[in-house]
Amino acid sequence: MTNHTCCFIGHRTVNETEELRNKLSATIEKLITDEKADTFLFGSKSRFDSLCLEIVSNLKEKYPHVKRIYVRAEFPVIDDDYTAYLLKLYDYTYYPEKIKNAGRAAYVERNFEMIDNSRFCIVYYNEENAPKTRKSGTRIALDYATKKGAQIIFI
């Protein structure tokens, strides 16, 4: 999965502008056309994730081979109704076994899973959006992606 896979890491809130949307769209399309990226991993709980999902879904109309995968940090087992709901938005979903007992660190571990399985990592990081009293989850993921040697693309 890694060679043609991209994940998205970003803050829960974003300064959503037309310029940001256009830059994201152009960056993702360039990965599809120039780097043959065909698999995109998504987390949840952030506007950045949902914005990226929206853009990849729009590009999927032009590039139908592209796959959208939701990597869950909650609900190791899901019923048929929830699966059906998710598969309206994504092409596949899974819960990484290694985060089963992660507790409060489940989202951090899920992000590590996405980074471990990606060649590219599109990151939206803004120091102003980062929490002041603790290290942000986005910063933790960015540091991990850097350490793992992922090709980081800042938006």
Average pLDDT by consecutive 10-residue portion of the chain (155 residues)?
A: 88 89 98 98 91 98 98 95 97 95 92 97 81 77 95 96
**29 within some domain:** yes
How many domains would you assign to the chain? 1
Check which CATH number belongs to the domain holding 75 and give it.
3.40.50.450
- Which among 142, 144, 137 is positioned nearest to 153, based on CA atoms? 142
Predicted local distance difference test score (pLDDT) of residue 14:
85
pLDDT at 134: 67
Judge contact between 41 and 10, C-beta under 8 A: no
Answer whether residue 80 is part of any domain.
Answer: yes
- How many residues make up the chain in this entry? 155
- Whether the predicted model's global pTM rises above the 0.95 cut: no
In a domain, 82, yes or no: yes
Distance between CA atoms of 55 and 117, rounded to whole angstroms? 21
Could you tell me if residue 139 is inside a domain? no
Exposure string for 8-29, b = 16+ CB within 10 A, e = fewer: bbbbeebeeeeeeeeebbebbb
**Residue 2 has what pLDDT?**
66
CA-to-CA distance for 99 and 131, rounded, in angstroms?
Answer: 24
- Counting DSSP H helices and E strands in the chain, the numbers are 5, 6
User: For residue 50, what are the domain limits?
Assistant: 2-129
